[in-house]
Amino acid sequence: MLPCINNFFTLTIACLRIFFIAISILLPLNIYSQTIHYVTSYTDDNSNGTLRKVINDAASGDTIRFANGINYIKLNGTQIAITKHLTIIGHSPNQKVTIDGDKMSRVFHIATTININSSLQIEI
């Protein structure tokens, strides 16, 4: 084989190896990861940091978690509409977050897929 053709193939194989190594490193990093939003307030029902506001501001595919100390949320009498795919995660099985509809409405009106873990307790 001619030296210039041999060098071309060697260079091409080396570039492909580098490409596949880079892909194998970057794929597990989940470059397109979702945003994690934190519920930080339970004192009212529609300002920054409240569950309703956090759900409204989240994009489809985002995750919602509860800040430490947020264990009980009482809604203002209207349900929270969920119209995008979300994951809502409480604290742990031993430390539940209760979302209370105050016997006035449903807690959620879910029009899409939602993942809720077992550390959330929903009361109507």
pLDDT digits 0-9 by tens, 50-87: 999 999 999 888 888 888 888 888 888 888 888 888 88
Residue 69 and residue 123: Cα distance in Å, rounded? Answer: 19
Residues 85 and 100 in one domain: yes
Question: pTM, whole model, 2 decimals?
Answer: 0.66
Residue 124 and residue 63: Cα distance in Å, rounded? Answer: 23
83 neighbors 113 (Cβ within 8 angstroms):
no
Residues 97 and 40 in one domain: yes
14: containing domain: 1-33
pLDDT of residue 34: 66
Residues 26 and 10 in one domain: yes
Number of domains in the chain: 2
Quick one: which of 20, 22, 55, 24 has its CA closest to 37? 55
Residues 58 and 117 in one domain: yes
Residues 8 and 59 in one domain: no
Residues 92 and 62 in one domain: yes
Distances (CA, A) of 42 to 3, 54, 88: 73, 12, 16
